[in-house]
Amino acid sequence: MNSILLTAGTTPGAAGASNSWMTMLMFGGIFVVMYFLMIRPQQKRQKELTKFRQGLKKGDKVITAGGVFAVVKQVDENSNVIVIDVDTNVSLRIDKAMVMRDTADMIQK
Banded model confidence at residue 4, pLDDT cuts 50, 70, 90: low
Query: In terms of C-beta distances under 8 Å and separation of at least 24 residues, what long-range contacts does 85-93 make, across chains too?
Result: 92/68
Give residue-wise pLDDT tens across range 62-105.
Answer: 999 999 999 999 998 888 899 999 999 999 999 999 999 888 66
Q: Are strands 90-95 and 81-87 parallel, antiparallel or unpaired?
A: antiparallel
d(CA 15, CA 11): 6
Asked if pLDDT for residue 3 goes beyond 70, the answer is no
Range list of β-strands (E), 1-109: 61-64, 69-76, 81-87, 90-95, 99-102
Q: Is this structure's pTM higher than 0.75?
A: no
Percentage of the chain with pLDDT > 70?
Answer: 80
Give residue-wise pLDDT tens across range 40-68.
Answer: 999 999 999 999 999 899 999 999 999 99
Banded model confidence at residue 5, pLDDT cuts 50, 70, 90: very low
